[in-house]
């Protein structure tokens, strides 16, 4: 009945109806059938039927490794209503199958799927019956399919993050043989959960005569005065016919273009063009409204509407400007939007779950809102995950978040024979065509870190020793220097393509600070101090980061037993995938902070440590504009609850770094920093107009006494970084001990503070932070509480939490509280007032260190 209603509602035009009901599944070598969810994956269906413990809890991941070594079968049945059965064409479409699958309709094999990232479709009218159709999907074990390919070689394609040992495969890295999300095989922040399933919708499509296969809306020549819009449609027609292609405004009905078209039997390309006068432009987050036009595109054949599409588009011009420096030794890497250079502020983005079908619309809205609310204007969709759901890109369009889009290759080398090349080509064509209408897409990138790895991680030397380096490099070149750029040139020529990230323009065997983009991991992997972020500043920093633990409320989800609350416990180590992660956090903690007094405090201080370290990088990159024009830290989100580089955890809880980032990514940044003998303050503005304001620089004791103050009236130019204060430290401290004072700097415009900052003249480990008791006053309001906080002395990293309020949302957290100055934090919470008052914890750094610790320790 639902199927029939869906078709009838769309009259005689193309109709789509999901085949999502009545699915069952079984282990092929078993006999029992169980209900299944489609879209879904085997792991989630096993969990739903009580056959598998949640792999995210405790050590359960280990007990789930058998799943990927089995074949699985999914079956459903359906009837086809007469109004559908009589249509001229009926197509079965699988929008995503993970990964190796044979599809049977009424016992006839109709699809052989071999790529998670592709859509599979087949004409099925001849196979359908009015009633009792059976649809069967046989999912082959990716281990059974790909392990023989690995064993047949006398060398290994490098795949450093493939956790084959955890999967019981010893050192056999099989992930490179499958066109499947690399992170499913494990990463240094994710579990090894190699899924299979029908992970995107299955639908029947039915139509008569002609239909749109694809509609591409491409703006060009965009200015404030006009924009040229080209609409190109791919049309399938069952016969030769006369038609009309019409483009109109979906809201007002204004017709922009109406073009007669001649259709031949088969596939046709038809187009229409028009000019928008005084268009409303699409702007990145923070620079203006990301306005979207919705174009209603329709095709009439012989006077009757055959098909319609609604396509959203933004009128914007985005260019990647690559201009050589005057000395010829470097080149810019600047995204220019609507004629203005724009500093990119953002993060790297990974899939939101190891089990992709659990990512709801609400979770997508939340993860994009987290980027928008932290003042980001770019996310890099990383190549070890997936080409994301349409909704993700829709939300980025609406939020003004530009997307650096990787193709799905990361940190490995991949075989590329003729069959695999064609498989990759189809994957690339489908996804470029699917995503190119989104104004958020700014750049296509071939892969993540593969060029750097081949030349700089020892891979070339290893392959030379095996006598296959030339062959493997030829495979690499064929994909990333040949196939992928050609697909982009053919299907999305207005956007730039980069073969790899990172990569230099002048040194194709690596990356550097003079051109191209850079990934900087000397901080973390090489144990370099945070101050290295101020020394190594590239033209565009597309990756860097530092780990922290999630807060205790999240840890309790995967380590509910208090006996496991030790970072060296088996459970905590299972949720730390970097082999040296805990050790590195301890090393940096010892270098920068005093000793944490207990497990809860260590979690809290690890977050401040991460935020403090990444802050140094973010400020250094922004201060260096226009030489440096982008900072994308690793990483925005998590795919499971874990210690990682994320700034917000699996459950969407903001870590300290995310709160810091929101302030550091504001349109105006106040950045104090110290050279050997001087204190300097720069003001950075992303505004496209100058700002007249006042910088106030104060040196204060922790008790609140002002021992130095200077006000500087200044005009900050548009889109610029300027130094407004430069004074000898000796003059500023005025005889006070540097570890007993702090710098407070703020920039005001017409009495309104645009940004402020607290800065310490010595490493925080040496700062003589006073102990304090923070006063708090809680006032309930509908849907939450207002918490007024005040301290008689300076309080570092004030942190509010309620372990019981798992979904509580704080307006601010991990902030510094200046002496005597009240701060009000709102908390959205469903807790009762007495419960909230009892559960609320307010701590600062002085509460987290070992009692009696002093600055001298």
Active site residues: 449
Secondary structure letter of residue 581 according to DSSP = H
Beta bridge partners of 260: 244
Question: Of 183, 155, 182, 194, which is closest to residue 171 (Cα–Cα)?
Answer: 155
Q: Token pair 């409320």 is at which residue?
A: 553
CB neighbour class for 749 (10 Å; exposed up to 12, middle 13-18, buried from 19) = middle
Peptide bond into 626 cis (omega under 30): yes
Rg (CA), the chain: 29
Please provide residue 512's backbone torsions phi and psi, each rounded to the nearest 5 degrees.
-155, -175
User: Taking the CB of residue 566, how many other CB atoms lie within 10 A of it?
Assistant: 14
Residue 593, both tokens: 């902070």
Distances (CA, A) of 339 to 334, 342, 397, 443: 11, 9, 19, 17
Q: What is the DSSP string of 359-412?
A: --HHHHHHHHHHHHHTT--EEEE-TTS-PPPHHHHHHHHHHT-EEEEE-S-BSB
Range list of β-strands (E), 434-505: 441-445, 497-498
Helical segments of 624-728, H only: 656-664
Secondary structure letter of residue 551 according to DSSP = P
Report d(CA 732, CA 677) in Å as an integer: 11
Taking a C-beta distance cutoff of 8 angstroms, is the pair 251, 650 a contact?
A: no
Question: Of 361, 16, 735, 389, which is closest to residue 381 (Cα–Cα)?
Answer: 389
Residues 6+ apart with CB under 8 A from 253: none
Residue 746, both tokens: 């703020």
Report d(CA 105, CA 132) in Å as an integer: 11
Please provide residue 601's backbone torsions phi and psi, each rounded to the nearest 5 degrees.
-65, -35
Report d(CA 253, CA 659) in Å as an integer: 44
Edge-to-edge strand list for the sheet holding 378-381: 497-498, 441-445, 402-406, 378-381, 344-349, 630-633, 541-543, 518-519
Edge-to-edge strand list for the sheet holding 266-277: 210-220, 226-237, 266-277
């Amino acid at each position: 009945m639902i199927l029939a209603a869906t078709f009838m509602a769309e009259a005689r035009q193309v109709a789509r109806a999901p085949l999502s009901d009545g699915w069952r599944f079984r282990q092929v070598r078993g006999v029992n059938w169980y209900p299944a969810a489609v879209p879904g994956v085997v792991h989630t269906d096993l969990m739903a039927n009580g056959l598998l413990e949640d792999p995210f809890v405790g050590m359960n991941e280990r007990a789930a490794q058998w799943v990927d070594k089995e074949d699985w079968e999914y079956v459903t049945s359906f009837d086809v209503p007469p109004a559908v059965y009589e249509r001229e064409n009926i197509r079965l479409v699988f929008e995503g199958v993970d990964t190796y699958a044979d599809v049977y309709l009424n016992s006839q094999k109709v699809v052989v799927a071999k790529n998670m990232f592709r859509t599979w479709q087949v004409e099925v009218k001849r196979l359908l019956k009015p009633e009792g159709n059976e649809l069967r999907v046989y999912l082959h074990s990716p281990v059974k399919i790909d392990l023989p390919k690995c064993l047949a070689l006398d060398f290994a394609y490098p795949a450093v993050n493939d956790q084959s040992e955890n999967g019981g495969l010893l050192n056999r890295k099989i992930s490179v043989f499958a066109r499947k999300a690399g992170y499913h095989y494990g990463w240094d922040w994710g579990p090894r959960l190699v899924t299979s399933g029908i992970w995107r919708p299955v639908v029947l499509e039915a139509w008569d005569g002609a239909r749109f296969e694809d509609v591409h809306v491409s703006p060009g020549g965009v200015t404030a005065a006009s924009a040229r819009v080209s609409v190109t449609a791919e049309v399938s027609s069952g016969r030769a016919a006369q038609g009309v292609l019409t483009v109109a405004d979906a809201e007002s009905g204004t017709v922009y273009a109406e073009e007669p078209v001649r259709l031949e039997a088969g596939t046709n390309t038809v187009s229409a063009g028009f000019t928008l006068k005084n268009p409303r432009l699409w702007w990145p987050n923070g620079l203006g409204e990301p306005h979207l036009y919705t174009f209603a595109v329709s095709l009439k054949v012989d006077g009757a509407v055959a098909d319609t599409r609604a396509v959203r588009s933004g009128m914007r011009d985005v260019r990647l400007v690559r201009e050589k420096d005057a000395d010829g030794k470097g080149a810019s890497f600047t995204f220019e939007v609507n004629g203005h250079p724009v500093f990119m502020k953002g993060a790297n983005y990974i899939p939101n779950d190891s089990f992709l079908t659990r990512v709801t619309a609400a979770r997508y809205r939340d993860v994009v809102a987290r980027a928008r609310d932290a003042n980001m204007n770019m996310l890099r969709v990383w190549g070890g995950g997936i080409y994301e759901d349409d909704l993700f890109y829709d939300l980025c369009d609406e939020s003004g978040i530009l997307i650096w889009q990787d193709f799905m290759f990361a940190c490995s080398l991949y075989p590329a024979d003729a069959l695999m090349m064609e498989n990759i080509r189809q994957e690339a064509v489908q996804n470029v065509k699917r995503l190119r209408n989104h104004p958020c897409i700014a750049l296509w990138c071939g892969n993540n870190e593969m060029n750097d790895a081949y030349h700089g991680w020892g891979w070339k030397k290893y392959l030379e020793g095996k006598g296959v380096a030339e062959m493997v490099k030829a495979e690499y070149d064929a994909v990333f220097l040949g196939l992928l750029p050609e697909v982009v040139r053919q299907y999305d020529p207005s956007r730039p393509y980069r073969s790899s990230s990172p990569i230099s323009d002048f040194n194709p065997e690596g990356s550097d600070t003079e051109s191209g983009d850079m990934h900087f991991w000397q901080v973390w992997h090489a144990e370099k101090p945070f101050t290295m972020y101020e020394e190594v500043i590239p033209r565009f920093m597309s990756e860097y980061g530092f780990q922290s633990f999630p807060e205790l409320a999240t840890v309790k989800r995967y380590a509910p037993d208090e006996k496991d609350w030790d970072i060296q416990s088996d459970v905590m180590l299972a949720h730390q995938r970097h082999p040296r992660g805990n050790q590195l956090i301890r090393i940096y903690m010892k270098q920068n902070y005093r000793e944490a007094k207990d497990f809860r405090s260590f979690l809290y201080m690890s977050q401040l440590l991460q935020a403090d370290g990444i802050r140094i990088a973010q400020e250094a990159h922004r201060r260096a504009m226009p030489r440096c024009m982008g900072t994308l830290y690793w990483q925005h989100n998590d795919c499971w609850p874990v210690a990682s580089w994320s700034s917000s955890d699996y459950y969407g809880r903001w870590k300290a770094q995310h709160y810091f980032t929101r302030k550091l990514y504001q349109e105006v940044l106040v950045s104090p920093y110290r050279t050997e003998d001087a204190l300097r303050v720069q003001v950075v503005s992303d505004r496209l107009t100058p700002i007249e304001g006042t910088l106030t620089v104060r040196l204060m004791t922790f008790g609140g006494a002002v021992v130095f103050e200077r006000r500087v009236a200044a005009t900050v130019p548009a889109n610029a970084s300027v130094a407004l204060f430069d004074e000898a430290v000796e003059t500023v401290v005025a005889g006070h001990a540097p570890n007993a004072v702090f710098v407070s700097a703020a920039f005001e415009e017409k009495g309104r503070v645009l940004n402020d900052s607290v800065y310490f003249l010595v490493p925080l480990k040496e700062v003589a932070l006073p102990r304090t008791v923070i006063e708090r006053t809680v006032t309930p309001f509908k849907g939450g509480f207002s918490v007024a906080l005040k301290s008689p002395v300076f309080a570092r990293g004030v942190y509010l939490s309620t372990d019981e309020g798992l979904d509580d949302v704080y307006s601010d957290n991990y902030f510094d509280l200046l002496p005597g100055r009240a701060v009000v934090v709102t908390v959205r919470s469903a807790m009762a007032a007495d419960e909230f008052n009892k559960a609320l914890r307010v701590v600062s750094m002085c509460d987290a260190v070992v009692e009696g610790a002093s600055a001298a320790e």
